[in-house]
Amino acid sequence: MTCYRITSSIFLSLILIVSVVLNTTASYIMLFKVKKVELTHLFIVSLSITNLLESIIGLIPQIIISDESVLRKTPMCIVSGFAVFGFAVTSITHMSLFSLIKTIIVKYPFFYFQRCKAFYYKVALILSCYVYGFSWATFPFVGWSKYEVDLDKKRCSLDWKLSQPESRSFFLAVLIFCNILPGIIIVLGLYFSTKTIYRRKASKFRQDQKNRLVDILEIEYLKVNFLSAAIYFVIWTPYAVVCILTLLKITVPAHVVTVCALFSKLSTISNVLINCFISRYFQKHLLNLKLIRFLTNTNFKRRLKKNPSTNLLEQI
C-alpha cells in the first residue's frame, strides 16, 4: 500500500467518522429534543439523513476497494456510484429548495404561515428532492450515459470519458439542471432575502423587544444563507469546471478529479455544520445532551484537581 493510498484512506475515514457523528447527532436532536414539525426543521433532518447515507454508501466502498479491476468486476462499484450521485443531487436539491423556503419566510411570511405549513406541503417538498435526485441517478441505467470507473480510477462515477454518444447530452443536462440552476436559486434567494431585510431596517427602526427578536432571527437567516451559498460554490464549482472541460473534450488530469471528489465529500459535513451547529438554539440542545454534560463535568473536575483555586474563584 503506497503512502498516497494510506493518506487518502485516512482522510476519507476522517470524513466518514465526522459526517456520521455530526449528522447522527443533528438528526437525533432535531427529532427527539427539538420535537418540532416545522418545514425548516424537517428539511434539516432530511438533509442530514441524506448526507449520512451519502457518506456511508459512498465512502466505505472507496476506502475498502481502490483497484480498478476489482471495481469493474463487482456490482458494488455501480451501486455505490448510483447512490452517491443520487444522494449528491438530492442534497443539492435540498439546499436550493431550503434557500427558496427561507427566502419565502423572510419576504412573504404570511403566505408561508398560511399555506406552506400544511403537512402535505412538507411531505411533497421533501419527497420531491429525492425524486429529482434519484431520477437523474437512474437515467444512466436506461441508456442515457452509463456508470463507469472514474478518471482517477478511485471510485465508480459517470462516464467522464464520453465513451457513449448519449453521455455528452447527459453531462450538459446535469451541468445545467443539477449545478447551475440550483446555484442560481441559492444566489437569488440570498439576494432577495438580503434586500428585503435591509429595506425593512431602513424603513422602520425596531425598538420593542419583539421586533428586536425578529431582527436577530433575520440576521441568523442571512448568515446561514450566505454561508450555504459560499460553501455550495466552493464545493461544487470544481466539478462544474471538470464537466465543462469534459464537454469541450479537454483532457482532465487524474489528480484534479481526485481533488473535486474530495471537495464534494466535504459537503456531507459542511451542510450540517452550517444548518445546525452554528445555531445558538441548536447549541443549547447539544449542550443539554447527557453525554456532553458528562464530558463537560468530567473535564471540569479534572481542572479542579489540577488547580484547586479555580473552585474558590467560581464561588467568588
3-state secondary structure the chain: CCHHHHHHHHHHHHHHHHHHHHHHHHHHHHHHHHCCCCHHHHHHHHHHHHHHHHHHHHHHHHHHCCCHHHHHHCHHHHHHHHHHHHHHHHHHHHHHHHHHHHHHHHHCHHHHHHHHCCHHHHHHHHHHHHHHHHHHHHHHHHCCCCEEECCCCCCEEECCCCCCCHHHHHHHHHHHHHHHHHHHHHHHHHHHHHHHHHHHHHHCCCCCHHHHHHHHHHHHHHHHHHHHHHHHHHHHHHHHHHHHHHHCCCCCCHHHHHHHHHHHHCHHHHHHHHHHHCCHHHHHHHHCCHHHHHHHHHHHHHHHHHCCHHHHHHHC
Could you state, in order of their start, the residue ranges of all structural domains in the chain? 1-278
**10-residue mean pLDDT series, the chain (316 residues):** 72 92 92 82 93 90 64 72 93 93 84 77 92 96 89 82 90 95 94 85 56 65 87 91 90 82 87 87 84 72 55 39
Q: What is the pLDDT of residue 256?
A: 84
The whole-number pLDDT of residue 268 equals 92
Instruction: Give pLDDT, residue 108.
Output: 84
User: Residue 310's pLDDT is what?
Assistant: 41
CATH of 1-278, one of 1.10.10.60, 3.20.20.70, 1.20.1070.10, 1.10.3720.10: 1.20.1070.10
pTM of the predicted model, to two decimals?
0.86
- What local confidence, expressed as pLDDT, does residue 316 receive? 38
pLDDT of residue 170: 95
Per-residue pLDDT, 43: 92
